[in-house]
Structure 1
């Protein structure tokens, strides 16, 4: 019998009986299961960056040393922003914007990858253009740990501490998530 099963049995011993399953379902959000408490082995780390997320802090770099798993740093350029720039300023401006954004992205991921590799952890980098939310979920589907900045995916209308896209990714990710 698991610890939590025993806890609920003791707590609701007089009430539980046949209602145990219902009580367990109702308290599921508040009491983690034993499976949720076990830390899964991290075999790969994915760091998602974009225009708003900026540099990876040193504290996060220390996390990479803990796991010693290969790190992939992926910079995502939002396709929708590209479309708006192209439609409002013209095709040439859209191409120039994309070139500048890709150049900035390559510099950022190269600089961050170099810092990760200095600590003795292997790192690869990638710059992708696409629908940011879909691309981020696709990338996160195969990693062991997702590391993401709280400003990732922000838009001009967002004024909260954590971007809605980060919250969505955190809920949908099949792996543990670190938000910095």
Structure 2
């Protein structure tokens, strides 16, 4: 019998009697097992950024700094968006949009990297064209944790507190995720 099972057993032994076993059986998926309570070691963190990530809360920096891990900040420029701009407007408009996006990306990467480095963390930066969700899922396989903004990929709304891309990414990963 695990630690939580013994806590629940003592708590409800006078109230629920033998119904405790039924409670454990029906709510097993909501209770942590002994194995699940093991805290994984985090040596590397992937942190994707894009134009929708306006700022990173101070609490995220503090939490990440507790792991003393190496961090990869990645700014993915959505190649499909640039292709749409090129097809609908012009190649010149697409090029201008790309230049502005790269400047914005470099500024965000530098700001977040400086803040993380101020906590004594080793930070790498990377910017490339690709698919924002598929590339993050693929890259996350080589990392111990993902730290991602709830706005990553699109703005959030009152009806959707997470962007659809974040939801897709989280559903495909088996590593711990910090959503801020």
TM-score with structure 1 length normalisation?
0.82
Runs of 5+ in structure 2 lacking a partner? 10-17
Instruction: Identify if the C-alpha distance between structure 1 residues 10 and 120 changes in structure 2 by more than 3 Å, giving closer, same or farther.
Output: same
- The separation in 1 between residues aligned to 2:35 and 2:170, in whole angstroms, is 18
Post-superposition offset of 1:96? 1.7
Does residue 118 of the first structure (1) align with residue 118 of the second (2)? Answer: yes
Post-superposition offset of 1:36? 2.0
Q: CA RMSD for the aligned pairs?
A: 2.7
Alignment of 1:167-178 (within 5 A): 167-178=167-178
Does residue 11 of the first structure (1) align with residue 51 of the second (2)? Answer: no
1:21-42 deviations in whole A, cap 9, x for unaligned? Answer: xx5xx64532232222211010
Q: Is the 8 A contact 2:73 2:124 kept in 1?
A: yes
Does residue 98 of the first structure (1) align with residue 98 of the second (2)? Answer: yes
Alignment of 1:13-162 (within 5 A): 23=25, 27-154=27-154, 160-162=160-162
Runs of 5+ in structure 1 lacking a partner? none
2:29 match: secondary structure: coil
1:67-98 deviations in whole A, cap 9, x for unaligned? Answer: 11111111111122112111111112112211
TM-score with structure 2 length normalisation?
0.82
